[in-house]
Structure 1
């Protein structure tokens, strides 16, 4: 959604919070062409240009390379600007809090903590499903994939 205020176009979307960065939003509300050439590729729909530029900018912050992008707009002196903090450290901290120490696949009704009690058919089925899901998760490296997706969700705002 865009609004015109004087000569500047104000764009309000999921990435509007990056508008304060000159590299991200020019007076027309569009990302800088030299900094984000991928966003202007002919195959990219116009509605996705800002999203792709935001991903690149956020990835640059995560890798502590935002000054390299800023140099395209502000010149060589932009490399001398330093922003405080280490964004990747913040992302890692948030990720650790979101995921916790470990995850478990648990199927309701799979009560394996009582070996002395003879399991009924429903409990046996639930235990079988739980075992199959846990084996599948191990084979597919599910914890790693969950961590990768959550890291993208935290760092880029999209998983």
Structure 2
């Protein structure tokens, strides 16, 4: 789960083992199913949820390797990216270029363009055990935390 980084509402997005995405607003909860996109219904467990800075959009990763983009004010997904059969292990959203970094259980680390829903690039050298991702404040560096305690860095400033 993750709190919305916006300033004009209190929102929390979370997911469960049944594949449901829940957006909590204040003390009330409005539930939406992660499989509402007509092409990609799923019951796969939700593995990560990350908000885009200063918008109501968030990304949801799941055990079946799918990433779904949602708007907190709508019930249906905006887009779905199918990564394959490997689980999504971590996500993070970089707003400067509208990129979503996606780590998969097979060691693939992908950057997706959230504006056009296309794979931007795949970063080399990722281990199979990434548990967390974070962008630097200037959006030049992507950090990955691994289960064995390592922190890996990629300079993404020359990618486009």
Q: What TM-score do the two structures reach when normalised by structure 1?
A: 0.26
Question: Which has the greater radius of gyration?
Answer: 1
Give the structure, 1 or 2, with the largest relative contact order (CA under 8 Å, sep 6 or more).
Answer: 1
TM-score, normalization: structure 2?
0.25
Structure with more helix by fraction: 1
